[in-house]
A and B are shown apart, each in its own frame.
Chain A
Amino acid sequence: NAGVMQNPRHLVRRRGQEARLRCSPMKGHSHVYWYRQLPEEGLKFMVYLQKENIIDESGMPKERFSAEFPKEGPSILRIQQVVRGDSAAYFCASSPGPYTDTQYFGPGTRLTVL
């Protein structure tokens, strides 16, 4: 049973470019969460999605960031017009449903903005 998969593992962008981060949840999991870890800081919640629905986006920056989890395919975290402050590790986690306590994390995508 494959775990949570994220790609790319490393992504380098120049300021002003777009970054697209992908997450495939564990088999059988329909709930996806995105977290951001800034250098030397803990993980911070960004957004919680179910298939085709955003359940909670209270941790998402108001501008430039968006997320989706389509009926088919991976969840996508999209950052438009990246700035240096967006450099961080972005982690995706998944769970089988809303009433489960445990979230399983992927290996992360390390975004570097030059």
Chain B
Amino acid sequence: TQLLEQSPQFLSIQEGENLTVYCNSSSVFSSLQWYRQEPGEGPVLLVTVVTGGEVKKLKRLTFQFGDARKDSSLHITAAQTGDTGLYLCAGKAAGNKLTFGGGTRVLVKP
């Protein structure tokens, strides 16, 4: 069974600070997706990383896929209150199904 561990489970920071969310596994994934989920809504895709060592930037968000394709991180620079939400990582292996991490709840306080 493939597992994805996300850490931390909860993160509370002040507006303007930086934060990093980690997603780790002992399994190799062909790709990894990061989603953000608002209460009462479905996950919204932020990014897909495919190549080991890949780094993608989306405005203040930086996503990295580990060289061995077993782990990933999401870094937010100068967080804003609008960044508050549940961040989910999901790995895709053979068979197309996604394995999700448990999520990281981020609270950015004004």
Contact = CB atoms under 8 A, between A and B. Distances in A.
B42 A108 contact: yes
Contact of A55 (B33, B43, B50, B96): B96
Nearest to A105: B42
Interface residues of B, number: 24
Candidate in A45, A55, A58 with the most chain B CB atoms within 10 angstroms: A45
Interface in B84-110: 88, 90, 92, 95-103
Residue of A58, A102, A106 with most partner-chain B CB within 10 A:
A102
Interface string B26-54: 00001101010000111111001010000
Nearest to B101: A42
A43 interface: yes
Interface of A: 4, 6, 31, 33, 35, 41-45, 48, 55-56, 58-59, 91, 93, 95, 98, 101-108, 110
- The 6 A-B residue pairs with the shortest CB-CB distance in the complex, in nearest-first order: A105-B42, A101-B31, A45-B97, A43-B100, A42-B100, A42-B102
